[in-house]
Amino acid sequence: MTQKPDQCLGEWIDREALAEAMIPLIGQLYRNNNVVTSIYGRGLINRSVIAILKAHRFARHRIADETELSVHDTFQILKTMSEMNLGAASVDLGKLVAKYKDAGNGRSLEQFVREELAEVADKRHAATGHKGTDVVLYGFGRIGRLLARILIEKTGGGDGLRLRAIVVRKGSDNDLVKRASLLRRDSVHGPFDGTITIDEANNTITANGNLIQVIYSNDPASVDYTQYGIENALLVDNTGKWRDAEGLGQHLKCPGVARVVLTAPGKGELKNIVHGINHGDITADDKIISAASCTTNAIVPVLKAVNDQYGIVNGHVETVHSYTNDQNLIDNFHKGSRRGRSAALNMVITETGAATAAAKALPVLKGKLTGNAIRVPTPNVSMAILNLNLEKATSRDEINEYLRQMAMHSDLQKQIDFVNSQEVVSTDFVGSRHAGVVDAEATICNDNRVVLYVWYDNEFGYSCQVVRVMEDMAGVNPPAFPR
């Protein structure tokens, strides 16, 4: 039946009102209970009415009959959750609705939600002895500033990771002003979502209530963090200058630092962790961990999914990667091959260790992959092309549907996303929180040979993976629902 204009507008206003009523519930659950809500991976915290409604619309890509997710259902779930005195949790409202439709078994939506979340019911402010983990960012470049944004966004009630300090080399007399400005404004990722103030007398930046000490130092082993009230901190080295246990171990000599995360591939015996794949290998005895590279994080989850289902005989990984600060803006001397040529004017062939590094996170791939990279004149978002020979034959539709299901319902749903559109381009993936996004329309399949195209935000998506590793190391990764 054709809708009339007044009816169409009236339904929109009704949905707007419900989304508006959801906002305080989402905020209260987050700040008072440390409950993070989302819809098929799209976060709802601090979102506008329109953003919430767009998340509901987006959900049709994840629902079998492609119907739009009902705001009435998600509002009822939030209302029930707000009455349950919940402990810390991560709750996907879209997936809860889908599970209710499949397994409600005659229960009301309220009954279903109460039973589904019974594990964390009445657990608010449970005596865990945890008062948050201090975080220090050593280096404040592209990844450092994005980590800061994510950590500030996830502060909640202060029970998780708390950004306490950044350490940099002083660049100028107005260094603090410039550092704050770079956090506030970003040419790729847009403006900071919140307020930022600086105190030049005390060298601090306050961002959304987070008091961040700016420490100037040229020596990783010389800072006494305890003089700033920082204890047992998790330090994240974003410089890439030191990549082995000896170099990164300098941080552990500093009072106040307990553990170190490297945002680059580690050398020697360091564990290279890709969250979702081998984060279970992290133990309490591990003082230094590598979060591998952006490309390794993008490809390994997809490779694991494919290998589990079809088996990988061998393959080649070609990375089409945005240029980085390591390259020259215009032609000039560079110690690396080809990287001295202008990044803004050329495609530049260069090496990548991602294929080899993949085997560190997923040993079953050892010796099976080769890899190379092409740097291209875009500032962010890259693509990995996985050319694989499989043990089992498959079809384009079959492997696409399998990866779609992995993106929705598997343990890799935070790592793998899936898109099925002939119109997407690289800028559409700026801000993606997944490690990689499978482009279904680009998939090529011929018997047991398949070519997969995986987009990834090599800055923000990777930073989200780093934060997941940090949460595991700090023991502040809450249970996720639905189970």
Characterize the bridge pairing of strands 382-390 and 312-322: antiparallel
Of the candidates 349, 345, 346, 354, the residue with the CA atom closest to the CA atom of residue 336: 349
State how far the Cα of 120 lies from the Cα of 104, in Å rounded to an integer: 20
Residue ranges of E strands in 291-337: 312-322
Three-class SS of residue 124? coil
Is the alpha carbon torsion for 87, 89, 95, 99 positive or negative?
Answer: negative
Amino acid symbol at 195: T
Q: What is the DSSP letter of 272?
A: B
Query: Is 445 labeled as catalytic in the residue annotation?
Result: no
First-residue to last-residue Cα distance in the chain? 38
Q: Which of 254, 294, 445, 464 is catalytic?
A: 294
Characterize the bridge pairing of strands 312-322 and 369-376: parallel
Burial (CB < 10 A; 0-12, 13-18, 19+), residue 283, is: exposed
DSSP letters along 226-263, please? GGGT--SEEEEE-S-S--SHHHHTTGGGSTTEEEEEES
State how far the Cα of 453 lies from the Cα of 443, in Å rounded to an integer: 6
Three-class SS of residue 200? coil
Structure tokens at 200: 């030049």
Give Cα separations from 449 to 298, 306, 313, 316, 350 (angstroms): 20, 12, 10, 12, 26
- Give catalytic residue positions: 294
